[in-house]
Structure 1
Amino acid sequence: MQQSHSAATSVGYFQDRVALVTGGASGIGRAVTDKLVGLGARVGVWDINAERLAECRTAHGDRVMTAVVNVAERKAVDAAMEALVANFGGVDHLLNNAGIIGTRMTAEDMNELELDRVLSVNLKSAFYVSSAFIRAPSAREDRSVVNLSSIAARTGGMVGNIAYATTKGAIASFTVALAKELAPKARVNALAPGVINTEIQQDVFADPANIEAMASVIPLKRLGTAAEVADAAVWLLSGAASYITGVVVDVSGGR
């Protein structure tokens, strides 16, 4: 897995490498997809939104292979990975980004159906996709994985987001454990975004007063952008982070 510093940090690092981005058709996932394609990678893009996937194909052509995949279902994940490998020959890098906030409920009101839904999409999917990634072929000796946690793992998030916050805490632990399992053949890290202005929370962001209130408690005094999280994700995936594994990096404006 050793490589020269110049090779690790060269602008051509991702040229003709293959990456997989789950939830890759919008928000942070789409920002990572766009950046990876711009750096020369071929990208498998999995999402449940067929319309957004079509927009991604229009933007990137044969540099992407899109698929409607419910990552909460193991059979669907394994079938989609088989198709991706058949088309691109292997997979070198993975961004486990798919996730939902879920319906806002307190622990008192949480029902089994909603709890299972959030656990499946946010946590089980990381196991399923990571397992498929590990079993997929790759000619690279420096494979890498980045998982999406959240600062909600340590702050608890907004009241009513207890299921979401719990899964993001579990993703942080999953990251450390998987990093130990896969070393030295692959690095595994996670990002913990703070308040990022993406569609996943548009019900909150629709009110400018909410944005102002959230920004006021962030040291940098503003919300983050998907592009800023993508920059951090691509850096962790790349050889520039070749001696970093098993860590969770905050992208939170200092919060």
Structure 2
Amino acid sequence: MNTYPCFENRTALITGGASGIGRAVAGKLLGLGANLVVWDINAARLEELRALAPDRIETAVVDVSDSSAVRAAAEVACARFGGFDYLLNNAGIIGRHMSVNELDEAELDRVLAVNLKSVFVVSNVFLSAPSGREGRAIVNLSSIAQRTGGMVGSIAYATTKGAVHSFTTALAKELAPHVRVNAMAPGVIDTEIQKDVFTDPSKIAAMADVIPLKRLGTADEVADCAVWLFSDASAYVTGISIDVSGGR
């Protein structure tokens, strides 16, 4: 039984959806009857995803910080599906491990562009797309780094996630009552992006030990939260950020 019939024949736009949390959300929404528009920079993984349901999935290699590229991809997607009902602003990078005095302008601009500028750009395109239905919703991916400061050496990342949190609160007020806007703030999740940063298994074990639930989270667990935030079950919820962090 589909516990979320609200997704059937509706369309979700997911950035950074070829792997990790974005891919997990895509899989769950597809299973619940939604059409998908997925943007990423990994062409091979996008093709693997599209092959699951070519009639219901539109994919494109898109630099989501490039407004021209985003608009062009959105035109193609809207021509196919008619518009967007849900948006997951998931694309993001941790960036290079650098102290504040080492952080050069090029690296700062790169992290800001992917993690923050893209949220403005893609949200704008989502809101400009045609839609005659109620219940539209945006979910932004923040991080518990927005309140903890993140790892030492990831100051740019933590700063962008704090900005995403503020953006979510402000946009929710601006768009109410027609579009709900919420955020998720994951802790340490067992995805490839974390494994790229933490290559030493002993460090991963040490991190798990300081989490009250004593383990890393999974992409599926974060995806379950996203599905709830998009669904009618959270119809009276807007302007919040939910920690998905095992109590950390």
The alignment's TM-score, normalised by the length of structure 2, stands at 0.98
Query: 1:179-218, aligned counterparts within 5 Å?
Result: 179-218=172-211
Give the letter for the 1:144 counterpart: A
Are the equivalent residues in 2 in contact too, given 1:91–1:133 (CA < 8 A)?
yes
2:235 corresponds to which residue?
242
1:102 corresponds to which residue?
95
Which secondary structure state, in structure 1, belongs to the residue aligned with residue 182 of structure 2? strand
- Alpha carbon RMSD of aligned pairs, Å? 1.0
Residue 71 (structure 1) aligned with residue 64 (structure 2): yes
Q: Which runs of 5+ in 2 are unaligned?
A: none
Q: CA deviation at 1:68?
A: 0.4
Query: 1:8-157, aligned counterparts within 5 Å?
Result: 10-157=3-150
Deviations 1:23-68 (A, max 9, x none): 0110000000000000000010000000110110122322110000
* Distance across 1 between alignment mates of 2:236 and 2:226: 15
2:168 corresponds to which residue?
175
Which secondary structure state, in structure 2, belongs to the residue aligned with residue 61 of structure 1? coil
Give the letter for the 1:106 counterpart: S
The alignment's TM-score, normalised by the length of structure 1, stands at 0.95
Which secondary structure state, in structure 2, belongs to the residue aligned with residue 20 of structure 1? strand
Give the letter for the 1:30 counterpart: R
Q: CA deviation at 1:13?
A: 1.2
Are the equivalent residues in 2 in contact too, given 1:204–1:210 (CA < 8 A)?
no
Are the equivalent residues in 2 in contact too, given 1:21–1:33 (CA < 8 A)?
yes
- Per mean C-alpha deviation after superposition, the further-off stretch among 114-123 and 200-209 is 200-209
Give the letter for the 2:57 counterpart: V
Q: Which runs of 5+ in 1 are unaligned?
A: 1-8
Are the equivalent residues in 1 in contact too, given 2:4–2:231 (CA < 8 A)?
no
Are the equivalent residues in 2 in contact too, given 1:196–1:224 (CA < 8 A)?
yes
Give the letter for the 1:157 counterpart: G
Q: CA deviation at 1:246?
A: 0.2
Q: CA deviation at 1:10?
A: 4.8
How many residues align? The count is 247
